[in-house]
Structure 1
Amino acid sequence: MTDSHHDAVRRENLERARANADVPASRSIPHPFNAGRWTRRDWAHASLIATIGVLLAAIVPGFSTALEGGAQNAQRMTLSLGLPKLGKQGSNQDRWQSVTLKKGQTLSGVFEELGIPYDQLEKVMQHPKIKPALRKLRPGTVMSFNLPADGSVRAMRFEAGIGIGEEAIELEFDGDALRERALPMEITTRTVVLSGEVGRSLFASARKLGLGSAQLNQLTDEMFKYDIDFDSDLDDDDRFSVVVDQTWKNGQLVKTGPVLAATFTVDGKQKSAFRHLRDGKPEYFTPDGRSLKRPFIRMPIPYARISSGFGVRKHPVLGRMRGHMGIDYAAGAGTPIMAAGDARVEFVGRKGGYGNAVILNHGGGKTTLYGHMSRFAKIRPGQRVAQGTVIGYVGSTGMSTGPHLHYEFRVNGVHRNPLKMTLPPPTPLQGEALVAFKNETRRALDKIREVEDIVFQLDDDSRLASTDKTAAPQKKG
């Protein structure tokens, strides 16, 4: 072939290639697996298609199997799962919530805290029986509310008062109406024995057992004031037991009654006292029926210190020797002063060096005088007062260098030393009254011993174990 022929063929091929390049892609799509070299675009398209395929296989179950030619022959396995039973949705059963009022908390605050609508609060506040009871609400009061799942308030409960016999009530909300019904009250009274050690403070130990000031006063001022000096006689490991009636309402302690029986074990010796009604009036007696009441109490001020005794002394104000015809008890200003015995008030007012003074007439020619008072109690001449009645308060009026009580005892006008007076005690129990009393005391003492054996044996075992653990190890020989 001549060169001119080759040139003609080359030109023809170039024109054909140019014509193919101008044809649209939709009309000319080469097979991807045609023999020849792939371009970058070919590799990019292939990579994109492969990635999409993998994602579809992972996301759509069974997609990968569908892509295979033998998809119709693929095995399928069904797994049966046991599902828990579902409860009824939208349940609106009773749901009670209780709130204990805190200091400074109000009923409106409780309603707001629980999300109860304000209009319900208004209904409660205007209820004729509930309105006065709301004024008695105090910290510690428990209120309960029935709050179903639908967000409404169905009812509320609380005690209408704080007394033992007062009932608890339930208010039921029914649309615009408010219905009231009384709730049954469970009130029980139990006779219990409370036992403990004196410890560092008898008062703290007694309160820890649940005794109040009334019971403490009965122990110290009525039952054992002649047998025990509560300032100096008691040691930390001395023991006491008290029998009382406790009243419980719906499982809560609401009242502790007077002391029915009590014992103190001081230096290993037991002292006992028992409450018994004689002629309709309560008195305290020893186990053999002798009354613990004395015609006159030894100290008109409990736990006072004697600052000056009976006899001749140098007067602190006059500065010369002079007979001191009474007993001085040092005490803080304002300390209550008690009548030493049952009496009629003979004098109330200012009396020379005695300052503010009271004279009581006990009958049988016996009188007592109380001087240097800061003020008087609500008493008047001619009035009858019982032993232990407060008749005035410690002061420093008259010839006095500091607050104290000057106490005198006279028989037919003659001064006697109050600390040395021996007067006949009340008549002891006799006959059938004594027999009945001893039966009561025997049961009480048996119960006290039973409780003490349990309580103090546990304490003794604990101490013994503690001592064994802390004991120094013996040297091995």
Structure 2
Amino acid sequence: MHTHGDGPGRRQRFKERLEILRDSALHHQVRTHLSARHWTRRQWIHASLFTTIGIMLATIVPGFSTVVQTEPVVEPLAVLPLALPQLSAERSQGLAGDSWQIVKVKPGQTLASLFKDLGISKETLQRILKDGDAKASLTRLKPGTELAFDLPVTGELRTLRYDRDADHRVELSLAGDTVKQKLVARESTTRTVVLSGKVGRSLNRSARKAGLTSANINSLTDEIFKYDIDFDSDLDSDDRFSVVVDQTWREGELVSTSPVLAATFTVDGKLHSGFRYARTGNKPEYFTAQGRPLKKTFIRMPIPYARLSSRFGARKHPVLGAMRMHKGVDYAASSGTPIMAAGDSRVEFIGWQRGYGNTVVLNHGRGYTTLYGHMSRTAKLRKGQSVPQGTVIGYVGSTGMSTGPHLHYEFRVNGVHRNPLSITMPPPEPLAGAQLASYRTYTANALARIRTVENIIYADIEPAPAPSAKTLTAALTTPKKR
């Protein structure tokens, strides 16, 4: 076995091989010269090839020898002892100091497994669980829950800290056989903020970057502006949005964000706005600047991902074979597709209704009713139950006189069947009186916040046309028809 120390011997062997190769090449060349007149064309080609290879080897081998000679010599590693810093007096004596360890619960972890990982005895765990509050809070740990352990160098748990709820923290102090509980209030602050941004490449990405939650984004696209903006085709990268929300902060950490309180969306220079407001005795909903609800009274199509398969009017019945009036419209869809309530209503009928099969009839008030037939099954509803718009009331099927899975949908006004595709839907009731006055004040304040922020962020952009305070007041006082 050769080491780096026999370098001269290796070089000598390379030189000897080189001389042999050179002599062989010269000898072959002489033989070629002497017998050239008797060689064929193929022999001439072979001779040239051998000569070229010899020259190449004569050039490469010395270079390779040089590379081998210049390999670095591996030096032995040296290990130096380093002195560790001394423990502070507090830690060495087990006094309160910097001995807190914060642990975040992982999926599948229990309090017992956490204690075992930290080297805390089972006896200590049993003492802690004798406290009723601790047992209720710590035996149902969710992933992501944070627990803090005060573990001095002595190894015995001194204090366990956990959050009982969003506003209170519990500290359990262990001294001997006693466990003392201390309840600490966690102060939080709520701020009303305006979050603004441009659509860019992705509305969802830009909105999240601006600070909006997934629920906030869904409110913009599926609740507030879904009737006025087509989010699949209308948006450009320069279109912008501004949203007013309440953010709750605790100990420097954002812990919650409220639903959207107000929002504006500028699309192709046109300003759209929506404001959250609760009528007396009703749930909050979104209104235009003029005080009209953004939510339409009825949904045109109470079933997603469906195809219109039969229109309103006279037709040949697919089962009976006779010409009959088709008093509704049919939407073909796969079995199990959810069916939604077309508007806010109460259940007037639920059950089996002759050729309609499994059927639900909803009463929307003011003489308006809707019927949904041929369901595979209905949702768990009861007669007289209040049903908000968009609630799933059943699922597509083929019950009754039906040739395939579809929804049969009827729209009636004072008992008379009307074409759901062409009827002018009744407008939602606007705010009026004292509610409109209160709404006017709220809207003016929200718009002022949004404009202040947008004037700072988009100072170099011509602002979208927006009503002045005087114009806005007039518009709110005398709502315009849509």
Q: What does residue 445 of structure 1 align with?
A: 447
Q: Structure 2 CA distance, aligned partners of 1:405 and 1:211? A: 37
1:110 aligns with 2:131: no
Q: What does residue 151 of structure 2 align with?
A: 147
Q: What does residue 138 of structure 2 align with?
A: 134
Note closer, same or farther for the CA distance 1:347–1:432 as it changes in structure 2 (3 Å cut).
closer
Whether the 8 Å CA contact 1:316–1:401 is kept in 2: the answer is no
Deviation digits for residues 361-388 of structure 1 (CA, Å, limit 9, x no counterpart) = 2334322111222221222223343434
Q: Runs of 5+ in structure 1 lacking a partner?
A: 1-83, 460-477
Q: Structure 2 CA distance, aligned partners of 1:400 and 1:458? A: 62
Q: Structure 2 CA distance, aligned partners of 1:256 and 1:299? A: 32
SS at match of 2:351: strand
SS at match of 1:129: helix
1:265 shift after superposition = 2.8
1:97 shift after superposition = 1.1
Q: Structure 2 CA distance, aligned partners of 1:457 and 1:294? A: 35
Q: What does residue 21 of structure 1 align with?
A: none
Q: Structure 2 CA distance, aligned partners of 1:159 and 1:443? A: 36
Whether the 8 Å CA contact 2:110–2:139 is kept in 1: the answer is no
Note closer, same or farther for the CA distance 1:393–1:191 as it changes in structure 2 (3 Å cut).
farther
Shifted more, 151-160 versus 276-285: the winner is: 276-285
Q: Runs of 5+ in structure 2 lacking a partner?
A: 1-84, 462-482
Q: What does residue 406 of structure 1 align with?
A: 408
Q: Structure 2 CA distance, aligned partners of 1:346 and 1:374? A: 19
Q: What does residue 258 of structure 1 align with?
A: 259
Q: Structure 1 CA distance, aligned partners of 2:460 and 2:104? A: 35
Q: What does residue 76 of structure 2 align with?
A: none
Partner letter of residue 134 of structure 1? L
Query: Which of residues 143, 160, 163 is equivalent to 2:164?
Result: 160
Note closer, same or farther for the CA distance 1:452–1:293 as it changes in structure 2 (3 Å cut).
same
SS at match of 1:420: coil
Alignment of 1:270-419 (within 5 A): 270-281=271-282, 282-301=284-303, 303-308=304-309, 310-312=311-313, 317-318=318-319, 323-331=325-333, 333-400=335-402, 403-419=405-421
Shifted more, 343-352 versus 248-257: the winner is: 248-257
1:100 aligns with 2:104: yes
1:169 shift after superposition = 0.2
Whether the 8 Å CA contact 2:312–2:329 is kept in 1: the answer is no
1:340 shift after superposition = 2.2
State TM-score, norm by structure 2.
0.66
Deviation digits for residues 38-84 of structure 1 (CA, Å, limit 9, x no counterpart) = xxxxxxxxxxxxxxxxxxxxxxxxxxxxxxxxxxxxxxxxxxxxxx9
Larger Rg computed on CA atoms: 1
1:240 aligns with 2:244: no
1:230 shift after superposition = 4.6
Whether the 8 Å CA contact 1:306–1:327 is kept in 2: the answer is no
Deviation digits for residues 75-112 of structure 1 (CA, Å, limit 9, x no counterpart) = xxxxxxxxx99964834342111111111122222222
SS at match of 1:259: coil
Shifted more, 139-148 versus 226-235: the winner is: 226-235
Deviation digits for residues 191-218 of structure 1 (CA, Å, limit 9, x no counterpart) = 2333445567756765666655654554
CA RMSD of superposed structures (Å): 3.6
Note closer, same or farther for the CA distance 1:109–1:86 as it changes in structure 2 (3 Å cut).
closer
Whether the 8 Å CA contact 2:344–2:388 is kept in 1: the answer is yes
How many residue pairs get aligned? The number is: 373
Whether the 8 Å CA contact 2:336–2:395 is kept in 1: the answer is yes
Q: Structure 2 CA distance, aligned partners of 1:313 and 1:237? A: 49
Q: Structure 1 CA distance, aligned partners of 2:402 and 2:201? A: 35
Q: Percent identity?
A: 58
Whether the 8 Å CA contact 1:348–1:357 is kept in 2: the answer is yes
Q: What does residue 431 of structure 2 align with?
A: 429
Q: Structure 2 CA distance, aligned partners of 1:398 and 1:202? A: 45
Whether the 8 Å CA contact 1:395–1:405 is kept in 2: the answer is yes
1:420 aligns with 2:422: yes
SS at match of 2:421: helix
1:228 aligns with 2:229: yes
Whether the 8 Å CA contact 2:317–2:323 is kept in 1: the answer is no
